[in-house]
């Protein structure tokens, strides 16, 4: 493959962005308050437009934000490649730009600034090295990939190697990146679990949050249980739990599972992998349904880790550390 330019667009913490981008074959940095930028001019003009659209923005942020918008509108070339790390499904999508900037609020009010993209490949985060994931975790909306171009090129050429799980000392690590890195590690560990091993972990977690369980059915990569509180299991609500080890859970699977729920039952689907954006969107309309993907299992383990038995902690070995918490703010003297 010839020398290529790879950009990353890092936006969208819910299912809307991923579903929109893939279904409409576009990419967008969001910035819904900004007007049409087709004739905005140079970088200074972009800075003025950004300040007018976001008057509460810090003056120190204006040059960086304007530069990112300028890149998206004017610097990206037709034929350049783009990496989009989806937050909710935890997939990494790679595509190729296939046209110029357009302003189409009629397509999406939240993502009106768009470029057409031909989406080529989809990967799980676990297929990339920690260094590549750190680079994609940049706080910038639009940026050129520089540190791991060859790794993404290899992904396009189907030559992606097994990622090195060591943290590279040269990679700057922020507090949220440490948490995300640990979450990625847990998801990788879950992908190595046997079906019975994942069942034991999931049921152990349910036990630690106060539920008793009873097996209902089992398949090659699935299992169903009833989870309940109280000694006899009559105390509502009863939770019907479906475990998925294969990560293949589509909208028809979701609708089929919902139809099995009784009037006093809630549904819980626990996956060792991820759910498509369309499944997350459909689940929002079900008030008695909850989805927990691999990242959600990781978060449960973080909160319950000290209560887990030795076997489960050996299967997913973690060490509690202290990191800066900048969300607390200053305390009074």
Q: Would you state the structure tokens that stand for residue 154, as one six-digit string?
A: 């290899």
Question: Which stretches of 192-306 are DSSP H helices?
Answer: 195-208, 251-259, 277-283, 294-304
pLDDT digits (tens, 9 = 90+) for 44-63: 888 888 999 999 888 878 88
257: pLDDT strictly greater than 50: yes
pLDDT of 111 above 70: yes
Which tens digits make up the pLDDT trace of 138-150? 778 898 888 888 8
Same domain for 286 and 167, yes or no, is: no
Q: Any idea what the CATH number is for the domain that residue 49 is in? A: 3.10.590
Instruction: Return the half-sphere exposure (C-beta side, CA atoms, 13 A cut-off) of residue 182.
Output: 19
Q: What is the pLDDT of residues 290-305, one digit of tens each?
A: 999 988 999 999 999 9
pLDDT digits (tens, 9 = 90+) for 209-240: 989 898 888 887 788 999 988 776 667 778 99
Confidence (pLDDT) at 332: 42
327, pLDDT greater than 60? no
| 123 and 251 belong to one structural domain | no
154 and 51 in one domain? yes
Domain-embedded: residue 125: yes
pLDDT at residue 165 greater than cutoff 50: no
pLDDT band at 181 (very low <50, low <70, confident <90, very high): confident
Q: What is the mean pLDDT of residues 275-303?
A: 89
Looking at the structure, do residues 128 and 221 belong to the same domain, yes or no?
no
Given 140, 172, 204, which residue is the final one in a domain? Answer: 172
Residue 286 pLDDT grade (very low, low, confident, very high; cuts 50, 70, 90): confident
Q: Are 268 and 246 in contact (CB under 8 A)?
A: no
Dump pLDDT digits (tens) for 186-200.
888 888 888 889 999
What's the total number of domains in the chain? 2
Q: Reduced to 3 states, what is the DSSP secondary structure of residue 318?
A: coil
The answer to whether position 201 is within a domain reads yes
Residue 281 has pLDDT above 90, yes or no: no
Question: In angstroms, rounded to a whole number, what is the distance separating the alpha carbons of residues 317 and 249?
Answer: 28
Q: Are residues 227 and 129 in the same domain?
A: no
Residue 322 within a domain: no
Q: Are both 132 and 21 inside the same structural domain?
A: yes
What b/e string do you get for 15-53 counting C-beta neighbours within 10 Å, with b at 16 or more? bbbbbbbbebebbbbbbeebeebeebeeeeebbebbbee
Residues in the chain: 333
pLDDT over threshold 50, residue 171: no
The range of the structural domain enclosing residue 264 comes to 195-315
Residues 116 and 82 in one domain: yes
CATH number of residue 306's parent domain: 3.40.1350
Residue 257 lies in a domain: yes
Q: Which helix (H) or strand (E) element contains residue 113?
A: strand 113-124
Average pLDDT over every residue of 145-167: 73
Please tell me whether residues 106 and 17 are part of one structural domain. yes
What's the pLDDT tens digit per position in 258-269?
999 888 889 999
Give the pLDDT confidence score for residue 95 in this predicted structure.
Answer: 93
Dihedral sign for Cα 172, 178, 180, 182, please. positive
pTM over 0.85: no
Which of these, 217, 68, 195, 88, lies nearest to 138 by C-alpha position? Answer: 68
Whether residue 264 sits in one domain with residue 163:
no
Residue 58 lies in a domain: yes
* Rounded Cα gap, residues 288 and 265, in angstroms: 8
The residues pairing with 239 across neighbouring beta strands, listed in sequence order, are 227, 266
Q: Is residue 323 part of a domain?
A: no
User: Are 48 and 151 in the same domain?
Assistant: yes
Strands 289-292 and 265-271: what pairing? parallel
Looking at the fold, whether 278 and 161 belong to one and the same domain comes out as no
DSSP for 170-195? TS---HHHHHHHHHHHHHHHHHT--H
* 332 inside domain: no
Domain shared by 164 and 237, yes or no: no
Task: Tell me whether residue 32 is in a domain.
Answer: yes
- For position 321, what pLDDT does the model report? 76
Backbone angles phi, psi at 49, to 5 degrees: -60, -40
């Amino acid at each position: 493959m010839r020398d290529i330019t790879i950009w990353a667009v890092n936006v969208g913490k819910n299912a809307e962005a991923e579903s929109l981008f893939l279904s409409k074959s576009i990419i967008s940095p969001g910035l819904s308050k900004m007007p049409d930028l087709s004739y905005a001019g140079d970088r200074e003009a972009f800075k003025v437009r950004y300040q007018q659209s976001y008057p509460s923005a810090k003056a120190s942020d204006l040059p960086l934000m304007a530069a990112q918008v300028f890149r998206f509108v004017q610097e990206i070339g037709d034929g350049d490649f783009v990496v989009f790390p989806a937050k909710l499904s935890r997939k990494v999508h790679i595509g190729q730009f296939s046209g110029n900037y357009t302003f189409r609020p009629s397509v999406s009010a939240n993502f009106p600034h768009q470029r057409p993209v031909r989406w080529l490949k989809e990967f799980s985060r676990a297929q990339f090295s920690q260094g590549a994931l750190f680079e994609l975790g940049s706080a910038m909306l639009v940026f050129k990939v520089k540190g791991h171009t060859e790794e993404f090129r290899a992904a396009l050429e189907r030559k992606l190697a097994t990622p090195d799980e060591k943290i590279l000392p040269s990679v700057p690590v922020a507090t949220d990146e440490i948490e995300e890195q640990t979450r990625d590690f847990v998801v990788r560990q879950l992908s190595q679990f046997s079906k019975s091993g994942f069942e034991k972990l999931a049921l152990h977690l349910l036990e630690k949050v106060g539920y008793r369980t009873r097996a209902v059915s089992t398949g090659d990569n699935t299992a169903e249980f009833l989870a309940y509180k109280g000694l006899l299991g009559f105390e509502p609500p009863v939770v019907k739990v479906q475990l998925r080890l294969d990560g293949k859970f589509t909208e028809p699977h979701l609708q089929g599972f919902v139809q099995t729920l009784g009037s006093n039952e809630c549904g819980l689907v626990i996956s060792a992998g991820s759910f498509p954006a369309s499944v997350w969107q459909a689940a929002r309309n079900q008030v008695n349904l909850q989805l927990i993907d691999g990242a959600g299992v990781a978060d449960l383990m973080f909160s319950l880790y000290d209560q887990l038995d030795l076997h489960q902690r050996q299967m997913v070995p973690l060490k509690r550390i202290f990191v800066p918490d900048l969300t607390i703010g200053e305390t009074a003297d």
